[in-house]
Amino acid sequence: MTRRALVVAHRTRPEAVEARDLVLRELAAAGVEPIIATDDSTAGNLPDFEMAIVLGGDGTILRAAELTRERGVPMLGVNLGHIGFLAEIEPDNVPAAVQRLTTGEYEVEERSTLEVRVLAPDGMRSQNWALNEATMEKTDAATMIEVIVEVDGRPLSTFGTDGLVLATPTGSTAHAFSGGGPVVWPDVDGLIVVPLAAHALFARPLVVGRSSTVAVEVLARSASDAMLVCDGRRRIAMPAGSRVEVQRSTLPVRLARLSPSPFTTRLVSKFGLSVEGWRGGARYVPGGPS
């Protein structure tokens, strides 16, 4: 049986092209046939593959997730971007990483995704999904959108806002973080709601449970229509009177991890946080010496 690996690379960065060529050589040495993703590639028009290698930043990894999620295939991210929260390795580790991936020397980390449903005023329904977030944005720069937020079938608050981010824990360090939301560890089963520049007394970021459904309606009186953007890639128009419902999906995205490390370590590394003065190791033992 032919073994195949999907290769997804940033289209314009020279370093991505160079890294892609290196990956192709390593795959050939391992006896694995590469499938190079193009702009026209979809989850449905690709042949079977058992692994994916992604060369770029988080945007490229989000693109690759569109091709791997439905197949349940793990993807290994090589960071060629600025932060690369979803990436696993740096470019100088590519040869060893490809070897370990092709020999199965990795663990799989599942990241939860969002199921997104939009109901338009004319009754038309749209369905989508997100690994990072679904962001509702105003379409008129001069006005706000008027929305009402609902949690588990009950209204919570009405307010005017520039937008609203509905994020996974994975997406908590992306758009939601930029909007003032909390950093949420990936193993927390929750959904994050972050209003953007809201005009309201109660419009704070929320974290709801894994079984909750969050709905946001663009009120009919809203002076601006809205646009819903999933992972910065897939757009759904939301004219006044529209409703979006978001809940945790049963279909995750699978990441290949070569060196599983605590999320704290990844957070410190990616954000360049200072940990000067940390001693570590000391633990309080009840009944022990004082």
Count CA within 13 A, CB hemisphere, residue 43. 11
CA–centroid distance for 129 within its chain: 10
**Helix, strand, coil in percent for the chain, rounding step 5:** 20, 35, 45
Q: Token digits for 69?
A: 């999620």
H or E element, residue 261: none
Q: Are 77 and 88 in contact (CB under 8 A)?
A: yes
Q: Which of 211, 249, 212, 256 is nearest to 230 (CA)?
A: 249
Gap between the Cα atoms of 207 and 2, Å rounded = 45
Q: Is 152 a catalytic residue?
A: no
Listed in order, strand segments (DSSP E) in 162-201 are 163-167, 190-196
Catalytic hit among 40, 58, 189, 225: 58
Q: Are 216 and 188 in contact (CB under 8 A)?
A: no
Secondary structure of residue 90 in the 3-state scheme? coil
* Residues with a known catalytic role: 58
